[in-house]
């Protein structure tokens, strides 16, 4: 690697573990550390990069507040999260406001990453927040999630978010400075790996068993996150978050394991659309749209002359020219009924026709894969 992936990322996600943010003895939020992290966030944003935070700590803060002692039952954890999350959000709001940055709380559940419509909604909301200059602060929606539908760990949640919003880099700040061939706390001969390109069975074996693996959230969940990131074209780091200004430290060469994918988030997304999505409808486009698409543009409703099939928002549809030749395929932002109502119309008229708009494009260029 040449420059730091942190400096190169257009869209960066930073995941903060509970043990960094919350003082273990008192259950208080470690303000000085949080402020130093937010100083880093402000610095990175001032360079024109987008930042999303995924923060744990709701349960750790809330359980002290409610006087609950571990082990907590699921409903106690949920109660703790309900009160802790308010304090967490408030702390981030204050720390970011020192830099004039608006923060936005987003609570996600597993369904939001698995159900296509919810996934698209979450993606669009996060895109909009970033466009408006806010810093989303994400956590799992712990109060409603049951065991079966919980991520349970924010490593995985952060990786899913990275995939969802096509982030270029994810940093997992925790209490371990990287991946080792064995648990370095128990095995002094364990050696550290600076860079990983593929999660092989050997790499997986290095993480140890779930629960007993090293690092507070366990190395196992971090490797699951790394797998998701590698397939999504997102670079991921496992790194110690303890120092003040941890992002600066990482950028200046603090020890970390970087997981480096072959492609970019863009190519990964296109491969996923091409390889895993079955087209369930088709759009016929006019000559103007054919030209716009050939130049790499998005597909606007004005260029669509026919809509075939019955499909939902987020489904995959084929794009054809007037002769019926397939030009490409993509994820459509409007359901078939709505698409029929807005085809041949200017994007500015969408809200007037449908009563709401889900964006100017029928298929955004990032969601479109052209043939050969």
154 touching ligand GLU, by CB under 6 A:
yes
Distances in Å between the alpha carbon of 62 and those of 105, 132, 153, 228?
Answer: 17, 31, 17, 30
* Cα–Cα dist 154/16, whole Å: 8
CB of 254 to ligand GLU, least distance (A): 22
Residue 355 carries which DSSP code? Answer: S
CA distance 256 to 287: 51
One of 35, 140, 315, 338 touching ligand GLU (CB under 6 A): 140
Order the strands of the 11-16 sheet from edge to edge. Answer: 103-108, 135-140, 50-55, 11-16, 169-174, 235-240, 256-259, 195-196
Strand 304-308 relative to strand 279-285, pairing: antiparallel
**Which residues face 137 on adjacent strands?**
53, 105
By rule CB under 6 A, what string of x and - marks binding of each residue 204-233 to ligand GLU?
Answer: -------------x----------------
Does residue 72 have a cis peptide bond before it, meaning omega lies within 30 degrees of 0?
Answer: no
Strand, helix or coil at 370? strand
* CA distance readout (Å), 339 to 58, 291, 296, 304: 41, 21, 21, 9
The least CB distance from residue 72 to ligand GLU, in Å, is 11
Cβ-based neighbour number of residue 196 at 10 Å: 20
Task: Give the whole-angstrom CA distance, residue 146 versus residue 258.
Answer: 32
Site string for ligand GLU, 59-78 (x = CB under 6 A): xx------------------
112 binds ligand GLU (CB under 6 A): no
Site size toward ligand GLU, by CB under 6 A: 13
Based on the shown chain and the rule CB under 6 A, indicate whether residue 20 belongs to the binding site for ligand GLU: no
Q: Which is nearer to ligand GLU, 140 or 168 (CB)?
A: 140
The token pair at 102 is 């608006």
Residue 58 in the binding site for ligand GLU (CB under 6 A): yes
User: Shortest distance, CB of residue 132 to ligand GLU, whole angstroms?
Assistant: 25
Task: State how far the Cα of 103 lies from the Cα of 147, in Å rounded to an integer.
Answer: 29
Residue 153 in the binding site for ligand GLU (CB under 6 A) = yes
Give the distance, in angstroms, between the CA of residue 121 and the centroid of all CA atoms in the same chain: 13
Q: Which stretch binds ligand GLU (CB under 6 A): 54-62, 225-233, 278-286, 314-322?
A: 54-62
Q: Of 173 and 311, which has the nearer Cβ to ligand GLU? A: 173
Please report whether residue 19 would count as binding ligand GLU according to CB under 6 A.
no
Q: Which of 142, 168, 338, 361 binds ligand GLU (CB under 6 A)?
A: 142
Residue 163 or 284 having the CB closest to ligand GLU: 163
User: Does residue 174 bind ligand GLU (CB under 6 A)?
Assistant: no
Residue 57 CB, nearest distance to ligand GLU (Å)? 5
**Least gap, CB of 61 to ligand GLU (angstroms):** 8
DSSP summary character for residue 10: S
Q: Should residue 57 be labelled a site residue for ligand GLU when binding is judged by CB under 6 A?
A: yes
**Tokens for 335?**
């359901």
Instruction: Select from 55-63, 187-195, 199-207, 359-367 the region that touches ligand GLU (CB under 6 A).
Output: 55-63
Binding ligand GLU (rule: CB under 6 A), the pick from 13, 18, 218, 319 is 18
Cβ distance 85 to 44 under 8 Å? no
Summarize as ranges the residues that interact with ligand GLU (CB under 6 A). 18, 56-60, 81, 139-140, 142, 153-154, 217
């Amino acid at each position: 690697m040449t420059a730091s992936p942190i400096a190169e990322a257009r869209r960066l996600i930073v995941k903060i573990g509970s043990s960094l943010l919350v003082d273990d003895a008192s259950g208080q939020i470690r303000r000085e550390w949080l402020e130093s992290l937010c100083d880093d966030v402000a610095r990175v944003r001032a360079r024109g990069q987008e930042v999303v935070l995924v923060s744990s700590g709701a349960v750790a803060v809330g359980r002290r507040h409610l006087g609950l002692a571990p082990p907590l039952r699921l409903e106690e954890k949920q109660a703790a999260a309900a009160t802790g999350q308010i304090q967490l959000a408030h702390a981030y709001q204050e720390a970011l406001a020192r830099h004039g940055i608006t923060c936005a709380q987003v609570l996600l559940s597993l369904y939001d990453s698995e159900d296509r419509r919810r996934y698209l909604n979450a993606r669009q909301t996060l895109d909009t927040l970033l466009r408006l200059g806010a810093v989303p602060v994400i956590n799992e929606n712990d109060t409603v999630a049951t065991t079966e539908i919980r991520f349970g760990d924010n490593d995985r949640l952060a990786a899913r978010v990275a995939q969802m919003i096509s982030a270029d880099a994810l940093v997992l700040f925790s209490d371990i400075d990287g991946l080792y061939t064995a648990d370095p706390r128990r095995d002094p001969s364990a050696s550290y790996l600076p860079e990983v390109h593929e999660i092989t069975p050997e790499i997986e074996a290095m993480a140890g068993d779930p629960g007993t693996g090293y690092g507070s959230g366990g190395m196992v969940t971090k490797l699951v996150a790394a797998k998701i990131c590698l397939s999504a074209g997102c670079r991921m780091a496992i790194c110690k978050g303890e120092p003040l200004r941890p992002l600066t430290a990482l950028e200046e060469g603090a020890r970390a394991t970087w997981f480096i994918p072959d492609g970019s988030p863009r190519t990964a997304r296109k491969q996923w659309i091409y390889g895993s999505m079955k087209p369930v409808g088709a759009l016929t486009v006019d000559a103007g749209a054919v030209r716009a698409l050939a130049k790499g543009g998005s597909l606007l409703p004005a260029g669509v002359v026919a809509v075939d099939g019955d499909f939902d928002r987020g489904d995959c549809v084929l794009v054809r020219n007037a002769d019926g030749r397939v030009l490409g395929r993509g994820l459509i932002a409007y359901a078939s009924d709505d698409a029929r109502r807005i085809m041949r119309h200017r994007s500015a008229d969408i809200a007037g026709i449908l009563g709401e708009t889900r964006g100017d494009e029928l298929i955004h260029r990032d969601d479109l894969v052209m043939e050969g």
